[in-house]
């Protein structure tokens, strides 16, 4: 067993006895944060239990092959003390490095400490592998200036122009308590318990500095982010993300995903902007809709996912094709047509959404839908125009309600053991 694949159980044994029972004391033994040199990027198609490298030029969890589970959280910062915020970001980074390697959140661990002290890991992931966990951080507009316009942490001048306040889109039913936030963390893993464990421990580490504003669980990735992955289905039963940006398309990623030098403030170079939207689907009425109408609304066949009028899922939609009656094969108000790059000045995003079912509502309806997550180089030329187009014309609007919204600037990757989340912004 190499150092870079130390299991939780082994790490506990290494942390061992003799650890000082004082908060902040370094653990003795071998349970140290893995350094960048020891990590290796996960291969596409790696086993679901494997660890994904935490460090790199870009943050993991964006072009990483989309894992099956999500716990997304948005925090509000409650301290006014910049140094305390930076200290927490460093603590978070150290914990994230350990967690993504399949280790405990803290140096002592879930069961490695003295009986009189609370463990520095909550313990529900004992015995579970890394499970492809990625943790991705982003900074919201309100971190730079509060509602009153106050520069909260001396970084207001660093707010990128691309980090816009999202406009109100026609039909939006946005609920403020589950929208926005100063900092977001996206936890994705192949095991829901691993994703939740990570967020739970980060929230605990952040007590007094941040408070959880809202969080969302998701399952069944609704996008494929590599060519190896089969396209999954959303809660409408349709394949979702066929035309997504893929990790292998490096030229497209450069043009559409990663922030390039000169785009804006240097701290975001190598990063990306993420937009989140909680889209409630009116499942029961959708399910009563005829197959033909469902396919017309989406613009794809429900079985293979092929664009209407084509044979294969990955065939390009023919937006010019006409039916015998002269109407377009792919309807003017269909989702595929309205979202297609050719209809949106070539706008592309890397979508990474998840299905959600938050139980049922008081009317006995499934509280379900899509938690949309879209990464892009500039929301002003990607998400915003595309969503305006959809919000105005999409036939699907009859069956969906956008109830939450968020936008965050995700900085570039953590380069090594001494680097931390947000270092380029707070340095």
Partner 1 sequence: MRSTRFLALAAVGTLTGGALAACTSDKTDGAAAAGGPIAVTATDSACELARTTLDAGTAVFKVTNSGAKVTEFYVYADGDRVMGEVENITPGLSRELRVELPAGAYQASCKPGMVGQGIRTALTVSGSAAPLAEDAALAQASADYSRYVRSQSTALVDKTAEFVAAVKAGDVAKAKALYPVARTYFERIEPVAEIFGDLDPKIDGREDGATKELPFTGFHRLEKDLWVGGDVSKDGAIADQLDADVRAIAAKAQAEKLSPLQLANGAKELLDEVANGKITGEEDRYSHTDLWDFAANVEGSKAAVAALRPALVKRDPALVKSIDEGFAKVDAELAKYRVGDGWKLHNQLSEAQLKGLSDAINALAEPISKVAGVISGK
Q: In the complex, which residues of this chain contact partner 1 (CB under 8 A)?
A: 21-24, 78, 113-114, 116-118, 204, 207-209, 211
Q: Closest separation between CB of residue 124 and partner 1, Å?
A: 18
* Tokens encoding 396: 């699907």
CB of 134 to partner 1, least distance (A): 26
Report the b/e string of 324-354 with b at 16+ CB within 10 A. Answer: eeeebbbbebbbbbbbbeebbeebbbbbbbb
Closest to partner 1 by CB, 82 or 393: 82
Task: Say how far apart CA 369 and CA 278 lie, in whole Å.
Answer: 8
Question: Which one, 23 or 291, has the nearer CB to partner 1?
Answer: 23
Give the shortest CB-101-to-partner 1 separation in angstroms.
24
Q: How near is the Cβ of 208 to partner 1 at its closest, in Å? A: 3
CB-wise, 54 or 92, nearer to partner 1? 92
Question: CA nearest 123: which of 190, 197, 188?
Answer: 197
- State how far the Cα of 352 lies from the Cα of 63, in Å rounded to an integer: 9
Signed CA dihedral, 65, 242, 250, 96: sign only: negative
**Minimum gap (Å) between residue 209 Cβ and partner 1:** 8
CB of 21 to partner 1, least distance (A): 5
Alpha-helix runs per DSSP H in 2-81: 8-15
- Closer to partner 1 at the Cβ: 66 or 210? 210
Give the pair of three-digit tokens for residue 419: 């680097």
Burial environment of residue 299 by CB neighbours within 10 A (0 to 12, 13 to 18, 19 or more): buried
Rg of the chain over all Cα atoms, to the nearest angstrom:
22
Minimum distance from residue 183 beta carbon to partner 1 (Å): 15
Q: How far is the CB of 211 from partner 1 (least distance, A)?
A: 4
Q: What DSSP string describes 165-223? A: PPPPPTT----GGGS--SEEEEEEESSHHHHHHHHHHHHHHTBTTEEEEEEEEEEEES-
* Residue whose CB is less far from partner 1, 22 or 427: 22
Cβ proximity to partner 1: between 32 and 77 the closer is 77
Nearer to partner 1, 120 or 394 (CB): 120
Task: Name which of 88 and 101 has its Cβ closer to partner 1.
Answer: 88
Alpha helices in 108-185 (DSSP H): 141-144
């Amino acid at each position: 067993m190499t150092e870079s694949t130390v299991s939780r159980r082994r790490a506990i044994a290494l942390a061992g006895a003799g650890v000082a029972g004082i908060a902040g004391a370094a653990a003795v033994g071998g349970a140290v944060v893995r350094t960048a040199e020891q990590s290796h990027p996960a291969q596409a198609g790696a086993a679901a239990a494997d660890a994904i490298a935490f460090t790199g030029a870009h943050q993991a969890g964006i072009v990483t092959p989309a894992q099956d589970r999500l716990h997304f959280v948005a925090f509000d910062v409650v301290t006014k003390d910049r140094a305390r915020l930076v200290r927490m970001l460093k603590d978070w980074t150290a914990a994230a490095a350990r967690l993504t390697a399949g280790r405990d959140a803290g140096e002592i661990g879930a069961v490695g400490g003295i009986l009189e002290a609370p463990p520095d890991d909550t313990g529900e992931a004992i015995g579970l592998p890394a499970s492809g966990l990625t943790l991705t951080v982003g900074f919201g507009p309100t971190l730079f200036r509060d509602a009153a316009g106050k520069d909260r942490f001396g970084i207001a001048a660093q707010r990128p122009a691309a980090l816009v306040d999202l406009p109100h889109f026609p039909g939006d039913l946005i609920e403020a308590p589950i929208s926005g936030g100063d900092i977001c963390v996206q936890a994705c893993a192949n095991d829901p318990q691993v994703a939740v464990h990570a967020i739970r421990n980060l929230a605990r580490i952040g007590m007094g500095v941040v408070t959880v504003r809202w969080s969302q669980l998701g399952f069944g990735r609704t996008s494929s982010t590599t060519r190896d992955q089969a396209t999954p289905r959303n809660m409408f039963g349709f394949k979702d993300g066929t035309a997504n940006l893929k990790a292998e398309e490096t030229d497209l990623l450069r043009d559409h995903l990663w922030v390039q030098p000169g785009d804006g403030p240097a701290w975001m170079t190598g990063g990306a902007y993420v937009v989140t939207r909680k889209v409630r689907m009116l499942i029961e009425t959708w399910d009563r809709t005829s197959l033909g109408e469902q396919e017309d609304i989406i613009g794809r066949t429900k079985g293979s996912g092929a664009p209407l009028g084509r044979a294969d899922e990955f065939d390009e939609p023919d937006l010019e094709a006409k039916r015998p009656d002269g109407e377009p094969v792919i309807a003017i108000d269909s989702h595929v047509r309205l979202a297609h790059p050719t209809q949106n000045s070539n706008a592309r995003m890397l979508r990474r959404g998840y299905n959600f079912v938050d139980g049922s509502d008081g009317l006995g309806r499934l509280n379900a839908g899509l938690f949309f997550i879209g990464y892009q180089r500039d929301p002003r030329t990607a998400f915003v125009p595309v969503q305006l187009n959809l919000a105005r014309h999409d036939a699907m609007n009859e069956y969906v309600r956008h109830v939450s919204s968020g936008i965050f600037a995700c900085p570039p990757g953590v380069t090594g053991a001494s680097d931390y989340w947000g270092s380029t912004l707070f340095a």
